[in-house]
Amino acid sequence: MKGALIGCGFFAQNQLHAWRDIDGVEIVALCDQDAGRLAQSAADFDISRTYQNAAYMFAAGGFDFVDIATTVGSHLPLVRMAAEAGMHIICQKPFAENLEDARVMVAAAEDAGKVLMVHENFRWQSPIQAALEVVKSGGIGDPFFGRFSFRSGYDVFSGQPYLAEGTRFIIEDLGIHTLDIARAFFGDASQITATTKRVNPAIKGEDVATMLLAHEGGATSVVDCSYATRRTPETFPQTLLEIDGTEATLRLDAGYQLTVTGKAPLTKDVSPPLLPWAEKPWHNIQESVQTIQQHFVDCIAQGHPPQTSGADNLKTLALVEAAYLSAAEQRAVRLSEL
């Protein structure tokens, strides 16, 4: 498979490293409006075809899929362009600025008969996958409560300064990942209640959010996120879990320690591997990038829909929109409203 990548920014470097390590895949073209960033990525990854205009790249063709690693405002036109060009598509999160745009993108890919996957990589982290395996195999009985927690004081703005500029921040950028993890464990939610707070005066959006979800299957979960939490040791970028089941409780604690108490006691170190191109503490996320991109390739080869397809991600995106609505109006929001 030959691919093209649009957007050569901070996080896209992880995607380029991961594509290089996946058998049977080659990135043959790059696109970015920033000429210097484009040239640097092309040199680092030995990619000769470069473009500053995505339309010209699609017109030239010569690839099977496109990886859209740009910010959210460009996703709608780029996904539509890719679908019209007959490309399979992997698109960075947040998938769309609103649900209407997301539905248009999903329809465009469906009409073209092409795979559309959202780069929702947190559920693919190996510690999360290890916990999912225990729960899905019945290792704690029927799960009825969960807490999914990401709390840190890590400076994410130094590498991604645009995060400080939006009126929305932590739910849209990080909470979307954590909400998707909650869906992976408990399925879709029927209602959400959320509160938000801005602690850092140097940013425009919220940096603390707490969300209470009622899931359709009867479980309850709490999703809490913070970039204003001072911890020692710093746990970035770990998502901590606590899942109560009818027969046992599972915990994924700091330091990637997985424990199950009750039915079948278990204590296990589920630390992610440190890939040759990765660096701590980012290695947990970097490994999940390679895993989700391999999943994308496998789904295309086997004709299966990706777990985080565009259609599936509509439900995660709806939770984000409902959380902001809940925080703004100080009330519980039923997902049916959206």
Residue 311 has pLDDT above 80, yes or no: yes
Asked if residue 314 belongs to a domain, the reply is: yes
Same domain, 142 and 81: no
Residue 84, pLDDT score: 98
Residue 274 has pLDDT above 80, yes or no: yes
Same domain, 81 and 185: no
Number of domains in the chain: 2
Residue 81, pLDDT score: 98
| Banded model confidence at residue 264, pLDDT cuts 50, 70, 90 | confident
Same domain, 74 and 152: no
Largest CA distance in the chain: 59
The helix (run of H) or strand (run of E) holding residue 241 is strand 240-245
Q: Could you give the CA distance from residue 206 to residue 224 in angstroms, rounded to a whole number?
A: 13
What is the value of pTM for the model shown? 0.95
Same domain, 8 and 94: yes
Summarize the confidence of residues 7-22 as an average pLDDT: 97
Residue 263 has pLDDT above 90, yes or no: no
Summarize the confidence of residues 292-297 as an average pLDDT: 98
Percentage above 90 pLDDT, the chain: 97
Q: Output the CA torsion 152→154→159→165 (10° steps).
A: 60
Same domain, 154 and 90: no
Residue 123 has pLDDT above 80, yes or no: yes
Same domain, 10 and 82: yes
What range does the domain containing 137 cover? 122-276+309-337
Percentage above 70 pLDDT, the chain: 100
Same domain, 68 and 135: no
Contact 125, 284 (CB under 8 A): yes
